[in-house]
Structure 1
């Protein structure tokens, strides 16, 4: 059963109270003017500048590899392979695969995002970490980007061992932040649905089993009406933070360019055509780690989806950060040096041990390893 104790409107709304430490940080660090999302090129340039600055700080920026999509387009993967020469708390091969999907509302960002986290995860767990890219809206309408992510997983399923020396049967995790979390949850459900329909006898098995999903501040519901009826009274964060730019609310200009079909199976795991989608995740043995932010428009998406999954027998882990603004990657992983930021990053790295079904390194080991290989991460 879920350990999620947020069962009343009052307890849920209270998560949005501003953290005093964060309030002090805001005073000392006045925010820039709100990004103009109506000019997508300017917005992209701002996001890309931050991501690439963080990536360029790393001595190892990964290996770039182009792979074919269903229509012949060449999409880029950024791959961080274990060297096995580092002092790792977890034993060496076989190397599990962690796939991370960048955020950016499906309209900006690239696979330079998450590079620091990839380096740290590789060092901690001897994992092969793959950062996906995907075509962006509005130039490439929904669901082209989601299909690119799916095609990237399909390519990895066929080529991870021969091309990367990785063993997806040793662990196969998909995760992301914000829109990347939406894609991880949605495509993760699709992967399990397809896996359940296939023959997995030794001579026929080709699709590796997805073992875990990491969801950081994902948006999963289009509106209150999209939430299953029995959970609609727990859905308050859209209303609570409407018009609050610091909550990470998706601007109207971004929503307009998406042209989402909110009932499509590419939009949300809730839309799976499987008659018992959540129970099949439980039967599959999947684990799901949620990280939710108290002052975030998508907060209640995590609270509700975690409760749905756990009540259907899925193993879940929920970490929530009251009063923290972490909707965007830049606010989630870096830039706000307060205790909740450090706790969030520490719990992220511990959560991957849980997803990989490994004993977690000690907090001291995690902190020292991350500071050594990826010092830009606040931990």
Structure 2
């Protein structure tokens, strides 16, 4: 199936007020008709002329000027017990983690509470426990699940595969210590997920856990705007699969993530340290897609260069593992749009996340079914 119809810019994105969108004035060339915005951050117009680290630094500065999302009014933070500690990685490094356990855990049997291991976004270079704190708090409170937020090591200080290994080691630790430390049981639902680079780790971990016969096994995946394969490795896919990856070109000038930023192989190899063909980063290259988790929740953005990677993997999961998927497709929206709070879709995003993650530990529905809801219109 071809998904180009989802590249057409969302009316919500087109109509975002200048008070927010002016941070990214070069977006005007992507809308038709397009309002002319005056940028307060001229450096964003030259992002493709600088390296990955500088690019991420600029984004960080701009994001610091945007309004922060707040804990929803219906979520009582005191109803979630939050604890920060460390778990030991395979090389002896102490990985910072943060647990979120609902207060109801005191009266609810641990063997009935699902567990989510959460992996934050940040392009493998940025982010920490604070990056996912709000999401983890809300998920734990609203879904009555335990959450483990992982502060994996970042490049360029810690090259690949340190970040991946930390994430996997945290999942392995959670499988063994869920009852004693997290008041949860993987047997009731063992979910692994994240956003962007965190979703990349989650996907690669699904294969690693299967191959290692992790017990209890991972039962569900939460995959928000996932990186599934590096563009430099597209040529290694079978021709039939390569022909389905059209969004890299269709959304080459996507406002928040461009084709060039994804294709700077020299920067990426040097700064992150991963060969593009390594299946721990380009997990679509795995030959065997069987025996993977039976539930998956995807968040896909229509204007994201990564869009078709996610759709391809969802189809492989369905065909070879019988995975039931729920997809929220944000038509006409760019990668990580929800930071712009002027849009209705941005305010709905967290609610979508809760419903989507909640669907992963509910047994209803047949094997291999796919439900897609189109949002952002």
TM-score range, shorter chain: 0.7 to 0.9
Q: 1:97 to 1:47 in 2, by over 3 A?
A: farther
What do residues 344-370 of structure 1 show as CA deviations (whole Å, max 9, x unaligned)? 43332111221011689xxxxxxxxxx
Q: Distance in 2 between matches of 1:343 and 1:180?
A: 21
Q: 1:53 to 1:317 in 2, by over 3 A?
A: closer
The Cα of 1:296 is off from its aligned counterpart by 0.8
The root-mean-square deviation of aligned C-alpha atoms, in Å, is: 3.2
Q: 1:235 to 1:227 in 2, by over 3 A?
A: same
Q: State the partner residue of 1:81.
A: 101
Q: 1:47 to 1:135 in 2, by over 3 A?
A: farther
Q: Distance in 2 between matches of 1:50 and 1:111?
A: 20
Q: TM-score, normalised by structure 1?
A: 0.77
Match of 1:279 among 290, 305, 309: 290
Q: State the partner residue of 2:250.
A: 240
Segment of structure 1 superposing worse, 173-182 or 77-86: 77-86
Q: State the partner residue of 2:328.
A: 319
Q: 1:47 to 1:73 in 2, by over 3 A?
A: farther
Q: State the partner residue of 1:351.
A: 356
Q: 1:183 to 1:246 in 2, by over 3 A?
A: same
Match of 1:69 among 89, 92, 98: 89
The Cα of 1:259 is off from its aligned counterpart by 2.6
What do residues 279-330 of structure 1 show as CA deviations (whole Å, max 9, x unaligned)? 222xxx52111110011111111111112222222222222111012x23xx
Match of 2:54 among 32, 39, 59: 39
Match of 1:293 among 283, 287, 301: 301
Q: Secondary structure at the match of 1:183?
A: helix
Q: State the partner residue of 1:255.
A: 268
Q: State the partner residue of 1:184.
A: 202
Q: Distance in 2 between matches of 1:184 and 1:21?
A: 30
Q: State the partner residue of 2:114.
A: 96
The Cα of 1:62 is off from its aligned counterpart by 2.5
Aligned residues: 328
Segment of structure 1 superposing worse, 61-70 or 48-57: 48-57
Following TM superposition, the consecutive aligned residue runs of length 4 or more in structure 1 with deviations greater than 6 angstroms are 50-53, 55-58
What do residues 15-43 of structure 1 show as CA deviations (whole Å, max 9, x unaligned)? 11111121110544212532664437845
Segment of structure 1 superposing worse, 21-30 or 150-159: 21-30
Gaps of 5+ in 1: 1-6, 199-206, 361-379
* 1:162-177 matched pairs, under 5 angstroms: 162-177=180-195
Query: Would you say 1:265 and 2:279 are equivalent positions?
Result: yes
Gaps of 5+ in 2: 25-40, 366-377
Q: Secondary structure at the match of 1:25?
A: coil
Q: TM-score, normalised by structure 2?
A: 0.77
Contact 2:85 2:96 in 1 (8 A): yes
Q: State the partner residue of 1:372.
A: none
The Cα of 1:269 is off from its aligned counterpart by 2.6
Q: State the partner residue of 1:365.
A: none
Q: State the partner residue of 2:161.
A: 143
The Cα of 1:65 is off from its aligned counterpart by 0.7
